[in-house]
Amino acid sequence: MRFEFKRTSSVLALNLTVAAFSLMAATVEAAPTIGRSGLVVSADHWASEAGKQVLASGGNAADAAVATALVLAVTRPYFGSIGGGGFLLVRMNGKVHALDYRERAPSAARPDMYTSHPNKKASEIGGLAVATPGVVRGLWDLHQKFGKLPWTRLAEPAIRLAESGYVVSGEIHDRLKESLADFDQSGKTFWSREGKPLEVGTTVRQPKLAAALRAIQKQGPGGFYKGPVARDIVETVKKEGGILTLADLSEYRTLWRDPLELNVYGHRVYSMPPPSSGGTLLLSELQMAEKLKLHDEKPWSGAQFHLLAEIMRRAFFERQYIADPRAMTVTPAQIFDPARIARWVSTVTRDRRTEPDWKSFDLDALRAQPAKEERLETTHYCVVDRDGNAVSATTTLNGNYGSGVWTSRFGINLNNEMDDFTARPGEPNMFGLTQSALNKVEPGKTPLSSMTPTIVEKDGALVMLVGSPGGPRIINSVFQVLFWALTTKFDIDEIVQAPRVHHQFLPDIVFHDRTLNPEVVRLLEEKGHKTKAETVARVYAIRKRADGLWEGAFDARGEGGGSGY
């Protein structure tokens, strides 16, 4: 067995120094977490250990995913709360399934509910930002379809941690410091002392949340979507100016969808379909990379990053087409059709940044808007079991601590997922994305997402799981890690910790990790790119080695843990 825990801050993250990366290639002093029979990686060592213990006691990947997610709800409330939603891929008995447990717009939602609102941040902070949560129903449906162990057993690790407590880490303190001013009174009362965020080293016990988890443990989704917990959610949201109702909660349902899939680099890649844009753009990017023979360029070189940026620009142009499937007028297959991909590739040159005739691709270019640097809180976890079953799951509150709304009786942090709609047409959302009218607010609708949980097979066998938090930066982070995993011999931790870039079409900027070699940045600028140093995103991944062992990595850009046996 191997168990690891990393506590990192912005300073420690910079241990991936510029000197670690040459112009032509990169090497990182890194050690993946190893598992022979099973492995879990996540943003929290307690969560990964809980998942591993479930695997070691006879549970499968679905069971371990439930335990991992519920612990994240306790120890990482700024992105793991049961007040959020998400997407996952599950591979069970050789078949890959996609589960949509994304938040949905309340039944009283209307397209103009934010454009006519005097508070310009109403879609980000407060009760009106809250969409119907999906985490609990999603975990339940995953377990009911594929789980082995009793549901009641899987909730126990999270309940114990909520009752006995855990220590505030540097990352938790930093997130509180950033967002405490936006909390409602319940959140401020619990997470601050004398108006200041809880200090590092403080033991946090959450008896209110433990009570909610007990209700979920005994009653399944009925313990969350009905009864005292549901009333607490609705009453709190209403008090904070929101429109969520008991009917919205009781009528919430997940959706099993067919994953997107494509053969590329000799592998079968499965990813999330709409209402996520992630899978569609990822498969487009991988095809462009293969056709451009991106793998012929030296890894992490200026030449390779230039082509990566050009691929990303073109892929993100297509994001305008994607929304809740009920609103879409084209299919993902049309977007990553080989003929269309070939047209995009024909507009790329290795010498310099080029400007395609965007309108010839049937869309009008969007009006440029400045991007904002934000702490955007989503997380990802990966689980693989002894039988090759796997879960790649991304869960989110959207913003750091979501809406800043905490339910008064049970202490549940609620999402601000309504900002992922086109809340104000023509204006960028909190991710700096200017989105199309396809994504307008409507009752019961699912907002567009960038979450990209991904599973990879080779010759019918599982070989990799990967995913990321980070808003639109998710897609390009998954793309780069997956590309390097399929085309280089670096281990998975070296690949995950390496510097990455991001381009989302608008704004027309190549964002790059601060650890990227300055000479590479200079070459990008010489080729015509505008650049800006910002952390791109975190990635969590598991990959099978040639010797049959599993190797996992959690991103040193933040805290995390991996546990295998």
Q: Same domain, yes or no, for 50 and 148?
A: yes
Mark out the alpha helices in 21-96 (DSSP H runs): 45-56, 61-75, 77-80
Residue range 231-256: mean pLDDT, rounded:
98
- Lowest-confidence segment of 214-218, 239-243, 327-331, 423-427 by average pLDDT: 423-427
Q: How many CA atoms lie within 13 A of 65 on its CB side?
A: 34
pLDDT of residue 424: 73
pLDDT of residue 370: 35
Share of the chain above pLDDT 70, in %: 91
Determine phi and psi for 389, rounding to 5 degrees. Answer: -80, 150
Name every residue whose Cβ is closer than 8 Å to that of residue 546 and which is 6 or more positions away in sequence.
none
Pairing of strands 196-197, 192-193: antiparallel
Question: What CATH number is associated with residue 515?
Answer: 3.60.20.40
pLDDT of residue 367: 39
Output the six-digit token pair for 418: 């309504």
Contact 282, 539 (CB under 8 A): no
- The verdict on residue 81 lying in a domain is yes
- The verdict on residue 6 lying in a domain is no
- Lowest-confidence segment of 267-281, 376-390, 403-417, 516-530 by average pLDDT: 376-390
pLDDT of residue 30: 59
Task: Using alpha carbons, select from 80, 70, 405, 435 the residue that is nearest to residue 238.
Answer: 405
Sign of torsion over alpha carbons 561, 31, 374, 419: negative
Residue carrying the six token digits 């420690």: 12
Output the six-digit token pair for 100: 């949509």
Measuring CA to CA, how many Å separate 93 from each of 77, 257, 369, 419, 507?
A: 33, 17, 46, 37, 43
Name every residue whose Cβ is closer than 8 Å to that of residue 136 and which is 6 or more positions away in sequence.
82, 216, 221, 223, 224, 225
DSSP output for 485-552: HHH----HHHHHHS--EE--SSS--EEE-TTS-HHHHHHHHHTT--EEE------EEEEE-TTS-EEE
Residue carrying the six token digits 């997956």: 482
Mark out the alpha helices in 240-386 (DSSP H runs): 246-250, 278-291, 302-317, 332-335, 338-346
* Cα torsion through 525, 529, 532, 538, rounded to 10: -110
The tens digit of pLDDT for each residue in 257-311 reads 999 999 999 999 999 999 999 999 999 999 999 999 999 999 999 999 999 999 9
Share of the chain above pLDDT 90, in %: 87
Which residue would you say has higher pLDDT here, 370 or 50?
Answer: 50
- The verdict on residue 247 lying in a domain is yes
Contact 531, 517 (CB under 8 A): no
Domain termination site, one of 388, 407, 439: 439
pLDDT of residue 462: 98
31 pLDDT band, cuts 50/70/90, is confident
The tens digit of pLDDT for each residue in 174-229 reads 999 999 999 999 999 999 999 999 999 999 999 999 999 999 999 999 999 999 99
3-class DSSP assignment, residue 434:
coil
**Rounded CA gap, 429 and 415, in Å?**
15
Q: Same domain, yes or no, for 224 and 118?
A: yes
**Rounded CA gap, 28 and 517, in Å?**
13
pLDDT of residue 120: 92
Decide: residue 19, CB within 10 A, 0-12 exposed, 13-18 middle, 19+ buried: exposed
- The verdict on residue 50 lying in a domain is yes
Q: Same domain, yes or no, for 172 and 310?
A: no
Domain termination site, one of 439, 461, 484: 439
Output the six-digit token pair for 181: 């001013």
* Residue 378 appears among annotated catalytic residues: yes
Q: Same domain, yes or no, for 411 and 504?
A: no
Contact 90, 390 (CB under 8 A): yes
Q: Same domain, yes or no, for 456 and 544?
A: yes
The tens digit of pLDDT for each residue in 73-115 reads 999 999 999 999 999 999 999 999 999 999 999 999 999 999 9
The tens digit of pLDDT for each residue in 502-549 reads 999 999 999 999 999 999 999 999 999 999 999 999 999 999 999 999
Q: Same domain, yes or no, for 491 and 391?
A: no
Prior bond to 275 cis, omega within 30?
Answer: yes
Mean pLDDT of the chain: 91
Output the six-digit token pair for 553: 């990595």
**Rounded CA gap, 563 and 554, in Å?**
11
pLDDT of residue 116: 85
Q: Where does 147-250 show beta strands of DSSP type E?
A: 166-167, 192-193, 196-197, 203-204
**Rounded CA gap, 286 and 295, in Å?**
11
Name residue 270's beta-bridge partners.
Answer: 261, 455
- The verdict on residue 303 lying in a domain is yes
Residue range 402-430: mean pLDDT, rounded:
89
DSSP state of 463: E
Q: Tell me: pLDDT of 32 over 90.
A: yes
Q: Same domain, yes or no, for 369 and 386?
A: no
Among 8, 75, 378, 531, the one annotated catalytic: 378
Name every residue whose Cβ is closer than 8 Å to that of residue 371 and which is 6 or more positions away in sequence.
428, 431, 432, 504, 507, 509
- What amino acid is encoded at 490 in this protein? F
The answer to pTM > 0.85 is: yes
Output the six-digit token pair for 516: 């990227």
Query: What H or E segment, with its residue span, contains residue 438?
Result: none
Q: Tell me: pLDDT of 3 over 60.
A: no
Q: Tell me: pLDDT of 139 over 60.
A: yes
| Domains: count for the chain | 2
- The verdict on residue 263 lying in a domain is no
Q: Same domain, yes or no, for 412 and 333?
A: no
- The verdict on residue 40 lying in a domain is no
pLDDT of residue 26: 38
Task: Show the domain range for 335.
Answer: 271-373+452-564
425 pLDDT band, cuts 50/70/90, is confident
Q: Same domain, yes or no, for 510 and 412?
A: no
**Rounded CA gap, 392 and 452, in Å?**
9
Determine phi and psi for 553, rounding to 5 degrees. Answer: -140, 135
Q: Same domain, yes or no, for 211 and 341?
A: no
**Rounded CA gap, 394 and 138, in Å?**
12
**Rounded CA gap, 131 and 116, in Å?**
19
Residue range 341-364: mean pLDDT, rounded:
91
The CA-based angle 221-152-219, given to 5 degrees, is 30
pLDDT of residue 7: 35
b/e per residue 439-458 (b: at least 16 CB within 10 A): bbbeeebbbbbbbbbbbbbe
Q: Tell me: pLDDT of 17 over 60.
A: no
pLDDT of residue 431: 58
The tens digit of pLDDT for each residue in 55-83 reads 999 999 999 999 999 999 999 999 999 99
428 pLDDT band, cuts 50/70/90, is low
Q: Same domain, yes or no, for 430 and 492?
A: no
Q: Tell me: pLDDT of 375 over 60.
A: no
Q: Same domain, yes or no, for 418 and 457?
A: no
Domain termination site, one of 439, 462, 484: 439
pLDDT of residue 376: 56
**Rounded CA gap, 503 and 474, in Å?**
11
- The verdict on residue 8 lying in a domain is no
